[in-house]
A and B are shown apart, each in its own frame.
Chain A
Amino acid sequence: MKPVFHLHPALYARMLDGLSNLMFTETLGGRRDMGFYHDDLWLSDTAVIENVSRRKGAWEVILLFAHHKTPLKFIRRRITSHSCPKRAHQMAFYMRRLAAKDQRGTLCVDIADFDLSLN
């Protein structure tokens, strides 16, 4: 019989406690949690970068929006696609200029706003 990893009973009990607590702390999401996906108003306050990538034989223009105060509010939108890469890059440049609140592109997102934990 294969030797098996054995978890100490006290640790197992603590793990189950953690699972029980999850039932109280983790709640189901509501419909409004995905509101940012349909409600485009917040996109006017975002830092925007363009991205062109090749997909299914065409060059896709994608814009990435990140809210300048709450960068975790982040969305990626496919705008259009072109068979010519040069044209796709040109289109991406203009679409970004059009979408960004700060047209010169100086608005930037502060990494500290992400509140990253290095644990």
Chain B
Amino acid sequence: MGTSTKQRILDAAIRLFNESGVANVRLQHIADESGISVGNLAYHFKNKEAIVSSVYERLFEEFAHILASYLLNPTLSDFNQQLTQYYSFFTRYKFYLIDLFEVERSYPNIMDRWHQMVGKMLIQIRKRLDYYVQRGVLQPEPIEGIYDSLTRSIWMSIVFWMPQQVLKGQPTTETHFKQGVWSLISPYMTQRGREEYATEVQPADIMR
């Protein structure tokens, strides 16, 4: 029972953080949203910092789970599946961006964890490109260092694709998100890569 109440509080906190940002949410709001009294809330989490910390704990756990799904299968569809996970992650935790600077100021530990996660994500994307070159689905690096730039562009597309759609006032859909990322990689694909993309990646997107 205790766990489920805790879970409910965290779910409510995430909803409110997404709507109003971490700084604007008070304990009373979280208690109202989760349908319990502030006293009961204080029994589970002694203050807002404890809630923020638990929410981020969950967020990092999910992020680590996405990072762990690296090369579960050898084809391009593996990256496509990871993109699905990234999309659902960034949709669920929209506040990551709204509160980026606030978190940097008030919760330095959380920011350190973000830096570590982002570092791993960048390394993973770069290594994935190397692996696809080795498999012959991507061309060998045409100009030295260009795959490092491509890595950063892919990373930016994954992390900041959603806010830029919001800025333009356009809807966010998973298909558009993935197309945005694949459009960066596709110019470097070999004939074999293009064929694999057509058979392994595109059918999965059409199904959505």
Interface residues of A (CB under 8 A from B): 1-2, 4, 6, 9, 12-13, 16-17, 19-20, 23-24
Contact A17 B127, beta carbon cutoff 8 Å: yes
Contact B131 A20, beta carbon cutoff 8 Å: yes
**Complex CA distance for A29 and B70, rounded to whole angstroms:** 22
Contact B109 A19, beta carbon cutoff 8 Å: no
Contact B57 A19, beta carbon cutoff 8 Å: no
Query: A13 contacts which chain B residues (CB < 8 A)?
Result: 123, 126-127
Q: Is B119 at the interface (CB under 8 A from chain A)?
A: yes
Contact B53 A16, beta carbon cutoff 8 Å: no
User: Chain B residue with minimal CB distance to A9?
Assistant: B119
**Complex CA distance for A9 and B70, rounded to whole angstroms:** 16
Known interface pairs A13-B126, A20-B127; 10 further A-B residue pairs with C-beta atoms within 8 A, sorted by A's residue number: A1-B56, A1-B57, A9-B119, A9-B123, A13-B123, A13-B127, A17-B130, A19-B70, A20-B131, A23-B74
With A2-B57, A9-B123 known to touch, is A23 a contact of B131 (CB < 8 Å)?
Answer: yes
CB distance from B31 to the nearest CB of A (A): 22
**Complex CA distance for A108 and B198, rounded to whole angstroms:** 57
Name the interface size band of chain B.
20 to 34
Contact B119 A16, beta carbon cutoff 8 Å: no
User: Chain A residue with minimal CB distance to B57?
Assistant: A1
**Most B C-beta atoms less than 10 A away, residue of A1, A13, A16, A24:** A1
With A20-B71, A20-B134, A23-B71 known to touch, is A1 a contact of B110 (CB < 8 Å)?
Answer: yes
Q: Is B91 at the interface (CB under 8 A from chain A)?
A: no
Nearest 3 pairs of A and B residues by beta carbon:
A16-B127, A20-B131, A1-B53
Contact B71 A19, beta carbon cutoff 8 Å: yes
Contact A12 B123, beta carbon cutoff 8 Å: yes
Contact B127 A1, beta carbon cutoff 8 Å: no
Contact B70 A16, beta carbon cutoff 8 Å: yes
CB distance from A15 to the nearest CB of B (A): 9
User: Chain A residue with minimal CB distance to B124?
Assistant: A16
Query: B124 contacts which chain A residues (CB < 8 A)?
Result: 16
**Most A C-beta atoms less than 10 A away, residue of B74, B113, B123, B130:** B123
Q: Is B116 at the interface (CB under 8 A from chain A)?
A: yes
Mark out the residues of chain B between 58 and 93 whose CB falls within 8 Å of any chain A CB in the assembled complex.
Answer: 70-71, 74
